[in-house]
């Protein structure tokens, strides 16, 4: 048996300096934006770096400065389609602006968001973007005290000076009610989970207020630990088994898909003839032929752009006042609501 190959060590800045015949500081200045270095020295360093395969140690750079280009992305339930799309869009937007992304996946209750945010502070991150889940106020205050900017997506902590990016959940809930009322539905229900996040509550309450103003009775389902397909199916079995419901607003698409399957397969209801269903998020599965779900699109690109803008603005000026950016939602009409032509939007 042959001897295992010796693992090659990383090429260091000192290696580049020796090969180029310059000082170690000249190498550092060459790869530091805005630093002063002569044209001749820069050319020699760049040739040596390319020849040796040198790559800048960004982590070491951040440890030598008060600020880094690392942005922590914190989220829960990242396997859900909308959350996965948001992660992809946000990380792509940040990388395009020269930031590096560190993912913190609070996959379950054992990996609590606050503990993960405390850990990422050890890496001197520039900012933390909370995509899903709600962090404790105490850890957010600790981040701010350490000069780490905090950007919240689709959640509110109004007492703290953080940047917030929100889809217009209230508008979505109101328009969902109007669409179902226009379709002639008069026995309405709204389905959520037991989660009380700002986005879910905003959708439920605006829907409830519009239905109340119309004088139409409403059933409210807010049970189930997870905001997912299983909870939607559970809601469908319960609500459709207690009496007639002819229109339902499910506050996420996953809830809507579960509700629709329960309606068709277990309660033998035809969609949209017997039951009109509206969701929220416009995940890819909503357009599948077996669902054709009418829903509200949260534009991931707009959410990612607004969050990235907040990170950039505070990187350039740490004293920028906290701002709330509201992103419009769009009604995507397919085939799950009667009386509305599929393919139109409003």
DSSP class per residue in 78-146: TTSHHHHHHHHHHHHHHHHTT-EEEEEE--STTS-HHHHHHHHGGGT-SEEEE-SS---HHHHHHHHHT
Domain membership of residue 61 (yes or no) is no
Query: Distance between alpha carbon 56 and the CA centroid of its chain, in Å?
Result: 30
Q: What is the pLDDT, as a whole number, of residue 113? A: 75
156/259 same-domain check: no
220/291 same-domain check: yes
Domain membership of residue 273 (yes or no) is yes
DSSP class per residue in 245-313: --EEEESSHHHHHHHHHIIIIIS---TTTT-EEE-SB--GGGGSTTT--BEEE--HHHHHHHHHHHHHH
Q: What is the pLDDT, as a whole number, of residue 346? A: 45
What's the average pLDDT block by block, 10 residues per block, for the chain (346 residues)?
54 90 89 83 92 75 62 88 94 92 72 73 84 82 86 90 95 97 97 93 97 97 94 96 91 98 93 96 96 96 96 85 94 93 53
318/204 same-domain check: no
204/256 same-domain check: yes
Domain membership of residue 214 (yes or no) is yes
107/252 same-domain check: no
Q: Domain count of the chain?
A: 3
284/174 same-domain check: yes
> Cis bond leading into 231, ω under 30°?
no
155/205 same-domain check: no
Domain membership of residue 85 (yes or no) is yes
Is 20:38 a contact under the CB 8 Å cutoff?
Answer: no
The enclosing domain of 246 has a CATH number of 3.40.50.2300
Domain membership of residue 4 (yes or no) is no
Q: What is the pLDDT, as a whole number, of residue 1? A: 44
Q: What is the pLDDT, as a whole number, of residue 231? A: 97
194/288 same-domain check: yes
Domain membership of residue 313 (yes or no) is yes
Domain membership of residue 335 (yes or no) is no
Domain membership of residue 145 (yes or no) is yes
Domain span including residue 36: 13-56
30/79 same-domain check: no
Is 316:159 a contact under the CB 8 Å cutoff?
Answer: no
Residues 6+ apart with CB under 8 A from 346: 175, 331, 333
Q: What is the pLDDT, as a whole number, of residue 59? A: 58
158/217 same-domain check: no
Is 259:276 a contact under the CB 8 Å cutoff?
Answer: no
38/20 same-domain check: yes
Paired residues of 75 in beta bridges: 105
99/74 same-domain check: yes
């Amino acid at each position: 048996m042959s001897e295992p190959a010796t693992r090659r060590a990383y090429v260091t800045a000192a290696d580049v300096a020796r090969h180029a015949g310059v000082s170690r500081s000249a190498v550092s200045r060459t790869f530091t934006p805005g630093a002063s270095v002569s044209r001749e020295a820069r050319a020699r360093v760049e040739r040596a770096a390319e020849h040796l395969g040198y790559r800048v140690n960004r982590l070491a750079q951040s440890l030598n400065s008060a600020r880094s280009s690392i942005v922590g992305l914190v989220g829960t339930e990242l396997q859900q389609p909308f959350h996965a799309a948001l992660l992809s869009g946000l990380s792509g937007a940040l990388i395009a602006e020269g930031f590096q992304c560190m993912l913190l996946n609070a996959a379950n209750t054992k990996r609590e968001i606050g503990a993960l945010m405390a850990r990422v502070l050890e890496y001197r991150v520039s900012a933390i973007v909370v995509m899903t889940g709600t962090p404790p106020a105490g850890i957010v205050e600790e981040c701010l005290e350490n000069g780490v900017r905090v950007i919240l997506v689709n959640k509110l902590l109004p007492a703290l000076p953080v940047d917030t990016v929100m889809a217009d959940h209230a508008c979505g809930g109101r328009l969902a009610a109007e669409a179902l009322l226009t379709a002639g539905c008069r026995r309405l229900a709204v389905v959520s989970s037991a989660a009380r996040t700002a986005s879910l509550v905003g959708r439920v309450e605006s829907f409830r207020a519009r239905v109340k103003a119309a004088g139409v009775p409403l059933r409210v389902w807010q049970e189930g630990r997870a905001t997912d397909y299983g909870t939607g199916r559970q809601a469908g079995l319960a609500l459709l088994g207690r009496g007639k419901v002819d229109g339902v607003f499910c506050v996420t698409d996953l809830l809507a898909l579960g509700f629709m399957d329960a309606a068709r397969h277990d309660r033998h209801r035809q969609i949209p003839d017997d039951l009109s269903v509206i969701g929220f998020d416009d995940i890819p599965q909503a357009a599948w032929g077996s669902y054709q779900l009418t829903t509200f699109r949260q534009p991931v690109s707009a959410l990612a752009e607004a969050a990235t803008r907040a990170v950039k603005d505070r990187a350039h000026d740490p004293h920028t006042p906290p701002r709330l950016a509201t992103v419009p939602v769009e009604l995507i009409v397919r085939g799950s609501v009667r009386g509305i032509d599929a393919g139109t939007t409003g």
